[in-house]
Chains A and B, each alone.
Chain A
């Protein structure tokens, strides 16, 4: 751009523009860091769950005297059922029904792994536990609601396929872009000789 006096206008940024830019850059960096941390946490949780060190479950069915509400996200850890104690909160599936979180009332026979559980609506059950029990370790309130929507074999397969699709397509685009960059670097530098360069012969 040429001003009226014939001088070129110099592009300058005001102080507020620079501050805006810094805020945007910070927000971008923070969101990237957050996404990386979230991804890392998901990967760790998924690997631990696959290895059987813990399970991450949405609390959809909660019995009497359980200390958290339905809709929480619960991390359960496996323990020897003979080590259960009164007051523990465990994840169990009663009589083939859907799993739920129940409070242990008392230990009827620890050797036989018989325990008394608080059911729902004042009911109590005496149950014989399998060798491994899943005891509540951590609870995150309300976080179980979105997880509850995503739980299920169809949703899980869809998530995995979608994630793999994203990775493959991103890798394909990246390799193409890198090839372009390599090609760009391989081009020869422009010759300073032009067609109207005077050439003087001897």
Chain B
């Protein structure tokens, strides 16, 4: 081998080394790419049960239901407002029911009928009821908007209303209640999901003497009706 060929070989070997380094680098690079580096994630399944909630209003003109009525006699009418805000996030509610009952011994409602015991009308006004005559007892209420009958038939003159039997077992309120999800506090205006109800009760004039001096606590129980189960 002459000196010229040897020098050519030396030059060529430098480039061979460069190519070799490139192959080694590429090998390391592809090894890193194929290795399972810590990018694995854990799929998590967020489960969020829907909210279904009725919230009663604070005591005030829009919510007088807690004010007791005492010393009632046949021919009396009792008007009390009820404010209910609906939490129906995601449309989990499809309806509502009202169950009314009385407790106490003896009770004004245990054997009551619409004609012989306490009668009941529940109506909804799309804005807050206007209180006439100050806080109960003695107050009446008018609706400046439009009313919807929920139980019985409302009339601005209590004596002209059509009363149903006070005792109601899961009476459907779907037709009369606004079940839209409400995210703000009810303020008396026609807000979606704010229900301004009036419970109008009558002690019929033909109430028997046996009801004298009896006492009962009237209970209004509102229940939400969950929508049917489906694939989620």
Interface residues of A (CB under 8 A from B): 32, 35-36, 38-39, 42-43, 45-46, 49-50, 55-58, 90-96, 99, 108, 114, 125-130, 132-134, 147, 150-153, 155-167, 169-171, 173-174, 176-178, 180-181, 184
Contacts and interface: CB of A to CB of B under 8 A. Distances in A.
Nearest to B38: A130
B10 interface: yes
Contact of A156 (B9, B22, B30, B37): B30
Given A35-B19, A114-B46, A180-B3, 16 more contacts: A35-B18, A38-B22, A39-B21, A125-B43, A126-B43, A127-B41, A127-B42, A159-B23, A160-B23, A160-B28, A164-B20, A167-B21, A167-B24, A170-B14, A170-B16, A177-B9
B39 A45 contact: no
User: Top 10 A-B pairs ranked by shortest CB distance?
Assistant: A163-B23, A159-B27, A166-B20, A170-B16, A160-B27, A156-B31, A163-B24, A167-B20, A174-B13, A42-B25
B29 to A, nearest CB: 5
A39 B20 CA distance: 9
Between A50, A99, A150, A156, the greatest number of chain B beta carbons within 10 A of the residue's beta carbon is seen for A156
B45 A56 contact: no
Contact of B16 (A49, A156, A169): A169
A163 B43 contact: no
A58 B25 CA distance: 16
- The secondary structure that dominates the A interface is helix
A132 B38 contact: yes
A45 B32 CA distance: 11
A92 B40 contact: yes
B17 interface: yes
Interface of B: 1-3, 5-7, 9-10, 12-34, 36-46
Given A38-B22, A163-B20, A166-B19, A45 B14 contact: no
Contacts of A108: 46
Nearest to B36: A93
14 contacts: A35-B18, A46-B28, A46-B32, A157-B31, A159-B26, A159-B27, A159-B30, A166-B19, A170-B13, A170-B17, A170-B20, A173-B13, A174-B17, A177-B13
- The secondary structure that dominates the B interface is helix
B6 A128 contact: no
A43 B25 contact: yes
A112 to B, nearest CB: 9
B27 A180 contact: no
B189 to A, nearest CB: 34
B101 to A, nearest CB: 45
Nearest to A112: B44
A94 B154 CA distance: 61
A49 B31 CA distance: 10
A91 B30 contact: no
Contacts of A132: 38-39
